[in-house]
A and B are shown apart, each in its own frame.
Chain A
Amino acid sequence: MERILFLQILAGAAFVFSLLAFAGRLRAFNRLARPADRAVPKGSPRAGLIYAYTLGMAPWAKESTRLHTIAYLRGVAFHLGIFLGLGILLASPWLGQLPPAWRSLLAIGAGLGALLGLAGFAARLLERNLKALSTPDDYAAVLAVSLFLAGASLWLFVPAALPFFYLASAAMLVYAPFSKIRHCIYYAYSRMFFGKFVGIRAVLPHSQQGLR
């Protein structure tokens, strides 16, 4: 019991560390200048922003995701799995009280996330373009997150696996701010800049929706 408490505190501390490290990164990012766009809009920047965060992410919205639909959906599902895994971690002290069916459902979700992560890891090892682009950090990041999700899934099926889940969580959370995993905090900004760019110029969604 003491060991579990210790690991729980360790995972909790790793979570707080990760949050603080990400907050520090965001603080540094927000200190950078954000250039104002002074050109008179032709289209709607708001429509562009909404598009960037919604329909612009649909698998049919871009040629690239139409060409690589399965890889794209794998990535999306993997990332949804991460959010589920973080939820499981935060709720872990109380999840034991959930009915077995619910626990199984969560376990399957996290397990799928882990499998899809491992599939991504394998793709990086085997696929020529991915291999050429990948650094050791890319492999480590995918592996760390996949193990974290595998730990969540395993624990929900086999309660004795809780120490592994907490250790995998702590390792992933400490590694995240220093690794490629940190791209998560820049995603919203990058999509915002893209949405404003295409919206102000009346390119998207205006062209696709026949607004012009």
Chain B
Amino acid sequence: MNSEKVDTALAILEKQLNQPLAAALEVCARCGICAEACHYYVAEPTPEHIPAARAEELRKVYRAEHDFLSRIFPAWTGAERLTEEKLAQFAQIAFDKCTLCYRCTANCPMGVDTPLLMSTLRAMATATGNAPEILEMLADAAIEKGRDPEIYLEFFKDSILDMEQELQALTGDPEARIPLQKKGAKMLYVALAGAHTILPAAAIFETAGEDWTLSIYEAANYGIFLGDASRAKEIARRIVDEARELGVEEIVISECGHAYYAMRWLAPNWFGEEFTFRVRSIVEVLADYIQQGKLQLDPSANPEPITYHDSCNLGRKGGVLAEPRIILNAATTQFMEMTPNREEAYCCGGGAGLVALPEAAELRMLGGKPKADQVRASGARVVAAACENCRLQLGDLSCHYGLGVGVVALADLVVRAMRLPGAKESIEERMTAEAVAAKGN
């Protein structure tokens, strides 16, 4: 007799059991060739960190439910019935020990989609109250905000007015504005919380003569970290509805890996339709501006040796691989690649919500070790990353492993290279500030 929690978790498994999931559950030959693809394994080469071993935890339960031989001789196939203890263990495996980076899948001869299995584990853990509380709170807060945006809209408008003054000082243009809820604008820009993803973008859009408006919502979508498609859809719905109401041609997502991945690649499936508007990352927009000559950049404004960290959600899972290089080659003088890079890049270890979990801080530093080693080996003094979570993690890694590197966003580098009259802060000051901020975390 199963407990209610176990029944709920098994019902989630059955509900999510489609062809891609069934294939991922059935096809693994347990060859273990995926081991070195995982940053956890590279940092600590023990069998528990092999992606196939993590996935095996779900397979054991699946076999116990679905496999003839496993029902008769469970020990023969390693099948195990789901228990409440196992559910708690699932949560730890899926939330703390996997960042859904897809590197194991890309390295698997079978193409086993282990992140899909880990997302299923996350969904099972979430449905049974085993998910990290902070992720649940952040997801629910975002949904609540969408239900009644008026509550905070006035405050948001006030903060935008303050930011406009900063923008005017930065651009030297007293007419520079941050348009909000502008009907008929071509582009809806969805930023993250805080001015740091709004101001640089606003300065660039103003200079490029873009017809844009700022979203009243934040891009982050904690629903996907929970493996909870219904919550993720609710969070995305706020932005989709806003885009429809304003009649924009495209949604542009701030430098945020998971937000881009969610809105660009997952949301159309949640809504069951092709959107009438385009979804792009600001990284793609910046690369377009550069290629179209809309921005005049002086790369000598960024003279330090700089390397680029490919966010898994933007790169290997999102296809934004060439664009960051276009930006870096135009905005800096000493861009150097880490090895490996692009679709083979290591995860920084902070993805899939891990950076938000204080209880996983130690594991996060462990998982980030391969990336830290890569950064050190590159010889760069600055690491650019187009994802907020990656930047936070890279800052922490710099402190933890004594890398002494600064961490910047691509838009920051572009703004520096635009040589705006108000851009007085030097890159060294910014690096110091980022490093101090990271230490504070």
Q: Given A38-B272, A63-B36, A207-B321, do A201 and B27 touch, yes or no (CB 8 Å)?
A: no
With a cutoff of 8 Å between Cβ atoms, the chain B residues found around residue A72 in the complex are 33, 109
Among B309-339, those with CB < 8 Å from A are: 315-319, 321-322
Q: Is B30 an interface residue (CB 8 A)?
A: yes
Asked whether, in the complex, the Cβ of A136 is within 8 Å of the Cβ of B75, the reply is: yes
Instruction: State the interface size on chain B (CB cutoff 8 A).
Output: 63
Which residues of chain B are near A104, meaning CB under 8 Å?
none
Q: Is the CB of A38 within 8 A of B27?
A: no
**Bound-state Cα–Cα, A180 to B63, Å:** 11
> Is residue B28 within 8 Å, beta carbon to beta carbon, of the partner chain?
yes
Query: Does A191 count as interface, using CB distance less than 8 angstroms?
Result: yes
- Inter-chain CA distance A64–B41, complex, in Å, is 13
Determine whether the beta carbon of B19 is less than 8 Å from that of A29. Answer: yes
Give the chain A neighbours of B75 by CB distance below 8 A: 136
Contact: B29 with A193, CB < 8 Å?
A: no
B207 interfacial by beta-carbon distance below 8 Å: no
Is the pair A37, B269 in contact by a Cβ cutoff of 8 Å?
A: yes
A182 within 8 A of B: yes
Does B92 reach chain A (CB closer than 8 Å)?
A: no
What is the 8 Å Cβ interface bit string for chain B, positions 10-25, against chain A (1 contact, 0 not)? 0000000111101110
B69 and A32 form a contact (CB under 8 A):
no
Q: Is the CB of B76 within 8 A of A137?
A: yes
Instruction: Considering the complex, give the chain B residue whose CB is closest to the CB of A140.
Output: B76
Q: Which residue of A is nearest B106, CB measured?
A: A62
Considering only residues 55-79 of chain A, those with a C-beta below 8 Å from chain B are 57, 62-65, 67-68, 71-72, 75
Q: Cβ of B26 and Cβ of A129 under 8 Å apart?
A: no
Distance A63 CA – B343 CA, assembled complex (angstroms): 11
Asked if A135 and B77 sit within 8 Å, CB to CB, the answer is yes
Residues on A with beta carbons closer than 8 Å to the beta carbon of B278: 40
Which of B22, B37, B111 contacts A29 (CB under 8 A)?
Answer: B22
A80 to chain B minimum Cβ distance, whole angstroms, is 14
Q: How far is the CA of A57 from the CA of B22 in the complex (A)?
A: 22
For B315, give the chain A residue with the smallest CB separation. Answer: A203
Please indicate the chain A residues that have their CB under 8 angstroms from the CB of B32 in the complex. Answer: 127, 129-130, 133
A65 touches B17 (CB 8 A): no
Q: Mark interface residues in A6-42 (1 if CB within 8 Å of B CB, else 0).
A: 0000000000000000000000011011111111101
Interface check A46, CB cutoff 8 A = no
Chain B residue with the shortest CB-CB distance to A191: B111
A94 within 8 A of B: no
- Mask: chain A, 91-104; 1 = CB below 8 Å from B; 0 = not: 00000000000000
Out of B53, B111, B266, B321, which one reaches A203, CB within 8 Å?
B321
Contact residue among A33, A67, A183 (Cβ-Cβ distance under 8 Å from B28): A183
Chain A residue numbers with a CB within 8 Å of B33 are 64-65, 68, 71-72
Complex CA–CA separation, A33 to B16 (angstroms): 9
Q: Answer whether residue B39 sits at the interface, using C-beta atoms and an 8 A cutoff.
A: no
Other-chain contact of A137, B77, B265, B322, B342 (Cβ < 8 Å): B77
Interface: A198 (CB within 8 A)? yes
Inter-chain CA distance A198–B343, complex, in Å, is 10
A201: B residues at CB distance < 8 A: 265, 317-319
Q: Is the CB of A135 within 8 A of B76?
A: yes
Q: How far is the CA of A12 from the CA of B182 in the complex (A)?
A: 73
At the interface, yes or no: B304 with Cβ under 8 Å from chain A? Answer: no
Nearest Cβ distance between residue B37 and chain A, in whole angstroms? 6
Which chain A residues (186-212) contact chain B, with CB distance < 8 Å? Answer: 186-187, 189-191, 193-195, 197-198, 201-204, 206-208, 212
CB of B214, distance to nearest CB on chain A (Å): 24
Task: Say which residue of A52, A129, A186, A187 sits within 8 Å of B35 (CB atoms).
Answer: A129
> Quick check: is A128 within 8 A (CB to CB) of the other chain?
yes
Task: Determine if A43 is an interface residue (Cβ-Cβ < 8 Å).
Answer: yes
Partner of A134, one of B27, B30, B268, B344: B30
Contact residues in B for A178 (Cβ distance below 8 Å)? 67-69
Contact A190 B18 (CB under 8 A): no
**Is the Cβ of A75 less than 8 Å from the Cβ of B23?**
no
Q: Contact between B47 and A132 (Cβ–Cβ < 8 Å)?
A: yes
Across the two chains, which residue of chain B brings its CB closest to A67? Answer: B36
Q: Is B108 an interface residue (CB 8 A)?
A: yes
Check B168 for interface membership: any CB of A closer than 8 A: no
Using Cβ atoms and an 8 Å threshold, which residues of chain B touch A43? 319
Please report which residues of chain B, range 66-104, place their CB below 8 angstroms from some CB of chain A when the two chains form the complex: 67-69, 75-78
Residue in A38, A137, A194, A212 whose beta carbon sits within 8 Å of that of B69 in the complex: A137
- B47 contacts A190, C-beta separation under 8 Å: no
For the complex formed, measure the closest distance between the CB of A173 and the CB atoms of chain B, giving whole angstroms: 15
The 7 A-B pairs at the shortest CB distance, nearest first, are namely A194-B111, A132-B47, A201-B319, A64-B107, A135-B78, A38-B268, A186-B27
Q: Which residues of A line the B interface, CB within 8 A? A: 29-30, 32-40, 42-43, 52, 57, 62-65, 67-68, 71-72, 75, 127-130, 132-138, 140, 178-180, 182-183, 186-187, 189-191, 193-195, 197-198, 201-204, 206-208, 212
25 A-B pairs with C-beta separation under 8 A: A34-B19, A35-B18, A35-B19, A35-B20, A39-B264, A39-B265, A39-B267, A63-B107, A63-B344, A64-B34, A64-B107, A75-B29, A75-B31, A133-B50, A133-B52, A135-B76, A178-B67, A179-B77, A190-B27, A190-B111, A194-B105, A202-B321, A203-B317, A203-B318, A204-B106
Beyond A75-B109, A132-B47, A191-B110, 13 additional contacts (C-beta under 8 Å) are A34-B19, A35-B18, A38-B271, A38-B274, A40-B274, A64-B107, A64-B108, A75-B29, A129-B47, A130-B32, A179-B69, A193-B111, A201-B265
